[in-house]
Structure 1
C-alpha cells in the first residue's frame, strides 16, 4: 500500500491547499480593510489576516520546493513576521490613540476611558515640564530695552 502513494502529488496538494488558504485569509483581510467602519478595526483585520495569510503562503511554498535550505529560510521569515507584525500594529494603534483618532460611534469605550484620561494628563505634564516659568531678567536696561 505504501508503494502506491505518490509523495510528490501529496506534497503538491498540501502546498496548494496551504497557499489557497493563505490567499483566502489575505482576501478576507482586504475585504475587512475596505468594509470595516473605523481605523482600529481595519488595522486589526489587516494585521491578523495578512500575517496568517503570508505565513500560510510561505509554508506552502516551503513544502512545495522540498529543500531543507528553503524550508529553513521560510520558517525564519514566518517567525519574524509573526513576531513583528503584532508589535507594529500595537505601536500604530497606540500612536493613533495618542493622536486622538476617533473610534467608531458604536465602540464601547467605557473601560478604555480611564486609560484615555491618563494619557491626556501625561501629555499635559510632559508639556509643562519644558515650560520655563522663571521670570526673565534683562541685563541691559528696563523692559523697553533702553539703558
Structure 2
C-alpha cells in the first residue's frame, strides 16, 4: 500500500488505483481491518485510512485471522473454530488431523512472529533471508 506524507495510507480510491485492485474489494478489506482495530479512517478533506498502530507492532497472523479467519487448513485442526469431522472414527489417532495441526502450528509460528514492518521490508529487499541483524 502507498503511504501519504502524513503517515496515512491514503483514501480508498487512491489505494485501489495505486495497487491495481477493485475499490469495492478494497473497501471490504479496509472495513474488516478497521473492525479488528488495525486501521482507522477519517472522512472529509485530508481524510483517508491510516494504521491504528506502528507497523512493527502489528503482526501478520493477526491481519490474516482478521481477513480470512483461522489459520488451520481444516476445522478439526483449528484452535478457534474447531469442528470434528463427522466421519472420523478416532480423532486422537487421525493422521490427517495430526498433520494439519502441525501445518497450523508452523504457519502460526511464522505469522505470529512476523510484523507488518518485516513484511514490508521483504517486498523492498532483493534477498531478505541474507540480511543479518547484529
Query: Would you say same fold, with TM above 0.5?
Result: no
Larger Rg: 1
TM score, norm. by length of structure 2: 0.32
Greater fraction strand: 2
